[in-house]
Amino acid sequence: MTRRRAALLALFTMVALSPAPAAQAADEGPEQIVNGTFDTGTAPWWGTGNVTLAVDDGRLCADIPGGTTNPWDVIIGQNDLPLVAGETYAYRFFATATPGRVGRALIQLPVDPYTQYLAAAPEMSVSGNSYTYTFTAPVSLPDAQAVFQLGGSPEPWRFCMDDVSLKGGAEPEVYEPDTGPRVRVNMVGYLPTGPKKATVVTEATTPLDWQLKNAAGTTVARGRTTPRGVDASSGHNVHTLDFGTYRKPGKGYTVTADGETSRPFDIAADLYAQLPTDALKFYYTQRSGIEILDSLRPGYGRPAGHVGVAPNQGDVSVPCQPGVCDYSLNVKGGWYDAGDHGKYVVNGGISAFQLMAAYERDKTAFKDGQLNIPESGNGRPDILDEARWEQEFLLSMQVPDGKPDAGMAHHKIHDQNWTGLPLLPHLDPQLRELHPTSTAATLNLAATSAQAARLFAPYDAAFAARNLTAARKAWAAAKANPERYADPTDGTGGGAYNDNDVSDEFYWAAAELYLTTGEREFKDFVLASPHHTGDIWRDRGFDWGNTAQLGRLDLATVPNALPDRARVRKSVVEGAEKYLAIQRAHPYGLAYDPPDFDWGSNNLVLNNLVVIATAYDLTGQEKYRAAVREGMDYLLGRNALNQSYVTGYGEVASKNQHSRWYARQLDPALPNPPRGTLSGGPNSSIQDPLAQRLLQGCAPQFCYVDDIESWSTNELTINWNSPLAWVSAFLTDEGGRSDCRVRYTAFGSRPFTAQVVIENTGRHSVDGWDLRWSFLSGQRVRDDWGASLSQSGSVVTAKGLGANSRIKPGKSVTFGFTGTNTSGPNPAPEVFHLNGARCG
């Protein structure tokens, strides 16, 4: 993901899609394939040593052995095919598979790096089909190679082919995505009190009439569109329409404009109720080192991967790459990063962090048992248990005491070589290797460990202490090795994830250590960092390689005593204003609008929404909450392709994200990605062969194809679902502000005494109340007076008693308690909810 395939860009240039209509040659060139009808036997075709080629009923046939791992483990091919640069070729063949199978048909360089000029995945049947693909040769080559890669099946099968042809002079294939009706809406729907906008693709330049219709076809609202001109991100002339004043809940609404009717959608208050849970459930099926139970995820069960059970070589004792270290580490567990079997500290860091940050934003929104995972029922919120699965892995990547570079973190662990699709984790036979340490990985470990130390303190003091110790060691090691950068060429078997500026990671780690410890060293580092006062709000959003924003957001929202905290909070609001202006100017409501879309653009869209949502938390201004609600429209259908990028959400949604185990497109026995999985989305660089073949010259929003082979536009990753979980959790928060003000005053540190005053700033009496807040880490309530207090984890609930249970307008009530604090700072809580609504 993101930069994982950058090292492969040189390997892939032009490719093809699945079967296409026969290409019509304008001036058909000579036949390049020798003996493509097998009238003279099998020569010059060749096969790998595990197959025997024979002619059967006029076709070349071979029995393909079972039990192989990768597609290239079984190959049938022909060499010495001349190609001419700039020439468009038609490649045709007839093939059968008994039983049906998906194979690989390639035209490629015959030697390493086996650059593919055409790559296709024909779905072959018992009765047989004819296939035609076109591609344009990027280079002249006297000895290209046509190969069929047929390995990777656990069971044996029989392959036959005939009428194989390769000729120049073909017309280039034109890819036309099916974008459906020209009225683009959020296909999931709209919240009753939120914004409701749609985008219309039209040639009209003056306002158009529109109608909102209910499921019965009755028009319930109408209006006129607003012309927006040509949208640079799609290349289309568009209008917007706004039906935000209509608030009646219902199912099956549609919008009609310019003779087109949108896909159906709902208006409902609980529209996003399930999305945070689905986005978080994704992580269980990404787990390494544990059996995925079908009883917990029907259809997704599989054996534990990389636990040292053959054919796995396992993650229980992983050596370093040659010359890197003289030890092995047990790095079992964690999440597979994306669609392959690699595990990366820099990507795991931001992913685990955002899950924990979602919990820290509202510790009452996530429950034990919510995610139906093996840890459910242990008394901790499931979101923390899931984050811990990754955090344990991150801790295991730290160099042990007594070894060179002790305290540093290894950058990544993955296979020695790339594997093919599909490949279930427990069947991966590759040697696993630890890669060198890096400053970026070490600071990711420091940041997430410091965060985990405060969040796990109420639940597992020993785990919290272990994390804080690891964070301090990592910080010291990073300061001693401030420029240990990942090798950008280390991209065989896994992504390089190189980053030659780690000043942002230093800032993030210092911020988290300061929030958890309150210590001067970390405060001083934060205040001295150029990221503390600089404009860090990139148009393109933050991501694994740009993490200063994570520190700034936490310093703004997590209670602390930073001397310039008011300025920090103001800077977040300024960042939100920047993204709000971008969104208002964009006819699709996008808070992201660079001239070219990035790899993983959908996660960048979401991370910009995180900034806007945080501004709402800080200010209570409705415009920010409305902007987040509108921002989700793009991901769920209001886009140029008229599709949802979240699996299972919307009438037309991504379902073929790049993955070795959610690979139904290649193997009907395997599932599609689980509901709630975010696709990376449009990527102007189109690095993979399939995207290069189909999307040359694409406008940014059109640089996407929902195909498992398009790893540069359609991969899934742990750090793309993490902002989806954060933002969707924000959207399920009913929000709203209560007419109250709370003053919390603490005396002492450990132990401490606190006094709480609740003031009714509204016009009506509050008859019976409960007040809820959360502590920073491990503080515990003891004796109380004036109210009845209870505590779960770090969340405290106070209920009024007797006369204290009624608060008249303009009046206040007071209660207090004693508490303990075992370690770290004890700042006053800043967010209070009175009877479920936030005071402010």
CA atoms within 13 A on the CB side of 518: 12
> Is 56 marked active-site?
no
Rounded to 5°, angle at Cα 336 from 333 and 337: 130
**In 195-333, where does DSSP find H-type helix?**
275-285
> Is 784 marked active-site?
no
Of the listed 173, 315, 340, 362, which one is catalytic? 340
> Is 375 marked active-site?
no
Strands (E), 355-463: 409-410, 412-415, 432-434, 437-438
The Cα–Cα gap between 779 and 775 comes to: 6
Backbone angles phi, psi at 238, to 5 degrees: -135, 160
Structure tokens at 145: 């190679």
Structure tokens at 817: 């308690």
Contact 576, 611 (CB under 8 A): yes
Residues 6+ apart with CB under 8 A from 201: 179, 182, 183, 184, 234, 236, 237, 238, 640
Closest CA to 765 of 736, 800, 791: 800
CB count in 10 Å sphere of residue 500: 10
Of the listed 385, 433, 715, 784, which one is catalytic? 715
Of the listed 337, 360, 706, 784, which one is catalytic? 706
The Cα–Cα gap between 715 and 670 comes to: 17
The Cα–Cα gap between 328 and 232 comes to: 52
Give 165: exposed, middle or buried? Use CB within 10 Å, 0-12, 13-18, 19+: middle
Closest CA to 365 of 771, 729, 113, 54: 729
The Cα–Cα gap between 45 and 717 comes to: 40
Contact 356, 557 (CB under 8 A): no
> Is 80 marked active-site?
no
**In 213-313, where does DSSP find H-type helix?**
275-285
CB count in 10 Å sphere of residue 294: 11
How does DSSP assign 20-64, residue by residue? -PPPPBSS---B-SSSSS-TT-STT-EE-TT---EEETTEEEEEE
Of the listed 162, 658, 707, 833, which one is catalytic? 658
The Cα–Cα gap between 840 and 833 comes to: 9
Residues 6+ apart with CB under 8 A from 322: none
The edge-to-edge listing of strands for the beta sheet with 412-415 is: 343-344, 412-415, 432-434
Q: Please name the helix (run of DSSP H) or strand (run of DSSP E) that holds residue 509, with its range, or none.
A: helix 503-517
Tokens 């010495």 — which residue? Answer: 80
Q: Active-site residues: which are they?
A: 340, 658, 706, 715
